[in-house]
Amino acid sequence: MNKRPREDEPSSSLASAQKRQFGAGGGYGEQEGYSEERNSARRVADHYSARSNQTLEERENSPIIYLKKLNNWIKSVLVQLYARPGDCVLDLACGKGGDLIKWDKAKVGYYVGVDIAEGSIKDCMTRYNGDSDQQRRKKFSFPARLICADCYETRLDEYLCEDAPFDICSCQFAIHYSWSTEARARQALANISALLRPGGTFIGTMPDANVIIKRLRETEGMEFGNSVYSITFGEEYTEKKFPASRPFGIKYKFHLEDAVDCPEWVVPFHLFKLLAEEYDLELVLMKNFHEFVHEYMQRPEFLDLMRRLGPLGDGRSGQSTLSQDEWEASYLYLAFVLRKRGPPPSQRRANNPNRGKTFLAEEDIEFLGI
């Protein structure tokens, strides 16, 4: 097992890889300080909190409806590939609970959702209780617990130690919010590693830094995009050089029509992989969304799911589908799977009937340091 470095010093493997990949020296501007960091996290939380749950009609009229459906297909494929009946699930940055139905279909046994945005976690509670406009009014079969916390700052491993170990952890479209500083990125991975059982799986989706940096370098100015998204880098990056000595805190502004408008951080995937290894999380799979779609569409069960969800139409002529701009936006993302090192326990831990609840009231939402 690798020895973990102290939180305040870069690991030797990561540091040497940073030198290998990008060369030493150069600059990105100063690493952001802790309080500025908190402000950025707050800005992200406020942005998501302010986005109310859409009605079914609003959702269907969204300019990125097919992109949303494609994202849901990708997340569903990940869940179907890696979740097993009875699994204990930790959904980090669970948002409004958009994946609850996917976990239900996988027949999981227990669900803990954590998100920094109070508004989103309340919407997640509403959805879990079956009161949302968007879903059938059916109660979910698994008990749940919802927590409002900054997953990248809070010691979730301590707080959730009685619920651990989890069989599967999911962090969809959100792990990049941890890459504002090394300390936050490490806390994210430390939480995940400590809470997963040996052999447990960490699934996720995040922006593909290779694509983003390539697009930035191809563009004349500091902004690129199309009718559905734009990405803007600050003037501090006019040289468009990103030395490995400072892989954290590379901020850009992301706008996705009808979805996102807030700061995000570049995650160089090869360094994410190296850092994850320090926390005993080994890479199983990493694919850009385009490659992911092409590969898993070959499997009849996922092709059928794609037809039912509809991002690429249902096979009928005249059906509208994903626009070229939405397809281009999907190229900005990748899917990954990591596995916690170690032999899986020979026996599953007996389910504790007292964990979680099958109906959640606002008082049941737990607030940690928010």
Ligand X SMILES: C[S@@+](CC[C@H](N)C(=O)[O-])C[C@H]1O[C@@H](n2cnc3c(N)ncnc32)[C@H](O)[C@@H]1O
Rule CB under 6 A: is residue 179 a binding residue for ligand X?
no
Number of residues in the chain: 370
Rule CB under 6 A: is residue 159 a binding residue for ligand X?
no
Compare residues 232 and 245 and give the one whose CB is closer to ligand X: 232
Which parts of 106-125 interact with ligand X (CB under 6 A)? 115-117, 120
Pick from 179, 191, 181, 159: nearest CA to 92: 191
Compare residues 42 and 307 and give the one whose CB is closer to ligand X: 42
Rule CB under 6 A: is residue 174 a binding residue for ligand X?
yes
Rule CB under 6 A: is residue 173 a binding residue for ligand X?
yes
| Single-letter code of the amino acid located at 180 | S
Residue from 78, 95, 147, 206 touching ligand X (CB under 6 A): that is 95
Structure tokens, 252? 């850009």
Cα separation, 347 vs 319, whole angstroms = 49
Rule CB under 6 A: is residue 289 a binding residue for ligand X?
no
CB of 95 to ligand X, least distance (A): 3
Number of residues that bind ligand X (CB under 6 A): 19
CA 36 from chain centre, in angstroms, equals: 22
CB of 51 to ligand X, least distance (A): 9
* DSSP annotation of 313: -
Residue from 172, 187, 193, 288 touching ligand X (CB under 6 A): that is 172
Question: Residues near 60 by Cβ (< 8 Å), separated by ≥ 6?
Answer: none
Q: CB burial class (10 A; 0-12, 13-18, 19+) of residue 311?
A: buried
Residue from 78, 88, 151, 203 touching ligand X (CB under 6 A): that is 151
Compare residues 152 and 302 and give the one whose CB is closer to ligand X: 152
Compare residues 46 and 348 and give the one whose CB is closer to ligand X: 46
Compare residues 114 and 271 and give the one whose CB is closer to ligand X: 114
Instruction: Extract the annotated binding site.
Output: 71-72, 75, 93, 115, 150, 172, 177
Which parts of 34-63 interact with ligand X (CB under 6 A)? 41, 44-45, 48
Cα separation, 336 vs 292, whole angstroms = 10
Cβ–Cβ under 8 Å, residues 247 and 18: yes
CB of 273 to ligand X, least distance (A): 21
Pick from 42, 370, 21: nearest CA to 177: 42
Residue from 98, 247, 249, 311 touching ligand X (CB under 6 A): that is 98
Instruction: Extract the annotated binding site for S-adenosyl-L-methionine.
Output: 75, 93, 115, 150, 172, 177
**In the chain, beta strands by DSSP E:** 88-92, 110-115, 144-149, 166-172, 196-207, 223-225, 229-233, 251-256, 260-265, 281-288, 333-340, 366-368
Question: Residues near 300 by Cβ (< 8 Å), separated by ≥ 6?
Answer: none
CB of 366 to ligand X, least distance (A): 13
Residues lying near ligand X in the complex (CB under 6 A): 41, 44-45, 48, 93-95, 98, 115-117, 120, 150-152, 172-174, 177
